Structure 1
């Protein structure tokens, strides 16, 4: 029975970010067919940041209306909205309308906002909900959250998205010399979005079973009760037992010092700024100089490292703040090497050597795996603090991701400080 609950918790976790992760890996197939072209990733970044209004409203509701927000109903609404938006994307992603004299993908951008709202708000709803279950299921949830990036990536890899080869331009009738030609996908974007819609439906079914399946209800954590003693008169008194308010007490409520609390949330914000905002924007610049194989290998193995790190946490549930700081520093140093390779693109060190491919792939895998384990450690620490701590955990995750994305956006998209190499024409010596 416990195994089935672990599976349901994992499936709920996959519904947290599967839609947006799926959109990112499908972009090479969408870009040639939309009026925005390669500006679409920039639009997507802005839309995701606008969708942070969702977690902001939820956090404010928990702060000023404690106990009033119906968390289960909100999660039902989010999963239904996500599944419906993915379904509509399958049929309307290529539609465009004239806005201000120019053609714009109005339907695509509107549905992207809906999906971003679902995924961003999941950080402050799914995670606090997991406190209703026994502590061991939180780790399984993080495994599912990691799979929300891995599964769409594997499907896109099987689809053949972004796979390029060099062809003779004179033979293709497009000019002279070698030119990049992208492989035709094995199935359409419509089928891919239907897959995402199916993933959201599976997550919705898993959530229904977590709430109503007897085996799952038996695994719910014991509720906290608050006892009130009310003296009505000198000769009579009444004792009342209330369920719930103790779960929404102010944070921090434990013996942990404010310095430790600030350290935990500071590390959480920094780690998410790196993993969700800054480093994904430079992945192509750091890997593509070493070839398409290095890029796809690093993306796939890094996505696999996330759930594997969380799975490791099931057997090594360490809560040491010292180890957390050490791992965060190690992950930051790996990020520095990756960023250096992106800055030196299109001529990074070891360009024509196997060592270059091995180093960049290994750094990406260790970077994602190390910081994923740090996020799991923080989740376990804050799970012990109570419901309010997990709400703030989700809020800080979104704030860190937003700050990271907004910091790197002008560097990459406005000032163009990074340069990508031509995979068919190397201008580097050697």
Structure 2
């Protein structure tokens, strides 16, 4: 194994979702400067789901026209597109255009769509590309994917995004002949950032350039190509009859659909994967867990994170965001030393993570008066809940990725498709609840309205 290849795989993974993650953490600095204001997150949710046209196209091409789509060329294209879109955002994110008589941040929304297209499509292209490398490097890729959320969050903390202080503000003054009454209320005031949004977007563009360079080395560097499993997965053994035989033996399964209705050796067992290790019930369980965990971690719980944390104060919110970002790569590191593929363990961790997620959702529903709001216990619980929620379900997702890695290129393509499907269903479920009917109430970090 090559440390150089591990580092490249990690850097390659950082480009998977860094652009959209960066956009979310930068929102407190963006929304005061644009006409959409705090309606921007709702726009972003819709735009991200529209961008799923990318993975849908790749999945359908792989299913109905296998071998036609050049996977490497697609990756080059989407990384270059993400780099260009991030660079242009640095200069045009504040530009507005009149649409139907009202100002709108058209360049921001359009470039965000391209960033979403890049990140969504990475789910069905980056993972299958990792099939070219030995299985050990897949975990390094997942670590990089986790860092794609952690790095922008840390940079945003250094930037000072969302740091506020509470100051007295006069809300009412009554004067009579005998006396006068003045009422005060604490008002949250955000402090200036240490560097501009322009600089932050240039940083995101630089990270995409690093991802592009890492992919170039993974694809072309001679030392890295020695780590490719071309013999096993692509049949490129050289010339002559031996190479032709291997080509036929190993390419043929990938030209067929991943799902085969029956196993020829045992009619009672359905074999969905090429190894025949898992029956159809187990495969259904694996993909159901994959879709469920991604729905929870990518859209359902993140859509209520501010509601679950802000009643406990601004520090609790920022610590929950940071610790959740730390938990993702930490889960990948745990999978390096403990790659347990037990479906029973996977089911237990999924139930555990879902239970923790239910606690987080409960605190969001109770906002602005969740449990333990009058002391520091509540803040500790909510930060710990976010950490262990992401840690357990991220470990489940990594283990599923490792399982599907051994089942071939098609399995990883479908893995990416199910990841996006789970995210879409979660977004469709939460968008009307949060943004249309507005069933959640935000907490005020400076004013506690709950009685003891």
Scaled to the shorter chain, the TM-score interval is over 0.9
Please say if residues 131 and 233 of structure 2, whose CA atoms lie closer than 8 Å, have aligned partners that are also in contact.
no
Please say if residues 89 and 108 of structure 2, whose CA atoms lie closer than 8 Å, have aligned partners that are also in contact.
yes
The answer to whether the aligner puts 1:318 opposite 2:340 as a matched pair is yes
Partner of 1:158: 158
Partner of 1:232: none
Q: CA deviation at 1:241?
A: 5.1
Q: CA deviation at 1:178?
A: 1.9
Partner of 2:133: 133
Partner of 2:232: 223
The answer to whether the aligner puts 1:201 opposite 2:209 as a matched pair is yes
The answer to whether the aligner puts 1:29 opposite 2:34 as a matched pair is no
Q: CA deviation at 1:224?
A: 3.8
- Provide Cα deviations, 1:45-83, integer angstroms capped at 9, x if missing partner: 000000000000000000011111100010000100000
Residues 194-273 of structure 1 aligned to structure 2 (within 5 Å): 194-221=202-229, 222-224=231-233, 242=247, 244-251=251-258, 252=272, 253-255=274-276, 256-273=278-295
Residues 322-361 of structure 1 aligned to structure 2 (within 5 Å): 322-361=344-383
- Provide Cα deviations, 1:344-386, integer angstroms capped at 9, x if missing partner: 0111111112211111111110000000000001001111110
Q: How many residues align?
A: 416
Aligned counterpart for 1:181 among listed residues 189, 192, 195: 189
Local SS of the residue matching 2:153: helix
Aligned counterpart for 1:421 among listed residues 443, 447, 450: 443
* Larger CA deviation: 379-388 vs 419-428: 419-428
Determine the C-alpha separation between the residues in 2 that align with 1:226 and 1:194.
Answer: 41
Local SS of the residue matching 1:177: strand
Q: CA deviation at 1:226?
A: 7.2
Determine the C-alpha separation between the residues in 2 that align with 1:130 and 1:250.
Answer: 20
Determine the C-alpha separation between the residues in 2 that align with 1:225 and 1:25.
Answer: 40
Q: Unaligned 5+ residue runs, structure 2?
A: 172-182, 237-243, 259-271
Partner of 1:96: 96
Residues 35-50 of structure 1 aligned to structure 2 (within 5 Å): 35-50=35-50
The answer to whether the aligner puts 1:58 opposite 2:58 as a matched pair is yes
Please say if residues 160 and 185 of structure 1, whose CA atoms lie closer than 8 Å, have aligned partners that are also in contact.
yes
The answer to whether the aligner puts 1:74 opposite 2:74 as a matched pair is yes
- Provide Cα deviations, 1:81-133, integer angstroms capped at 9, x if missing partner: 00000000000000000011111111011100000000000000000100100
Please say if residues 290 and 356 of structure 1, whose CA atoms lie closer than 8 Å, have aligned partners that are also in contact.
yes
Local SS of the residue matching 2:337: coil
- Provide Cα deviations, 1:317-362, integer angstroms capped at 9, x if missing partner: 1111110000000000000000000000111111112211111111
Partner of 2:87: 87
Partner of 2:388: 366
Determine the C-alpha separation between the residues in 2 that align with 1:113 and 1:213.
Answer: 32
Local SS of the residue matching 1:352: coil
Q: CA deviation at 1:408?
A: 0.6
Residues 139-150 of structure 1 aligned to structure 2 (within 5 Å): 139-150=139-150
Determine the C-alpha separation between the residues in 1 that align with 2:234 and 2:100.
Answer: 58
- Provide Cα deviations, 1:1-53, integer angstroms capped at 9, x if missing partner: 71010000000000000000000000111001111111100000000000000
Partner of 2:409: 387
Local SS of the residue matching 1:169: strand
Q: CA deviation at 1:209?
A: 0.4
Please say if residues 226 and 246 of structure 1, whose CA atoms lie closer than 8 Å, have aligned partners that are also in contact.
no
Local SS of the residue matching 1:180: strand
Determine the C-alpha separation between the residues in 1 that align with 2:245 and 2:337.
Answer: 41
- Provide Cα deviations, 1:245-292, integer angstroms capped at 9, x if missing partner: 444432123322111111000000000000001000111111111111
Partner of 2:323: 301
Please give the root-mean-square deviation of Cα atoms over the aligned residues, in Å.
1.6
Partner of 1:231: none
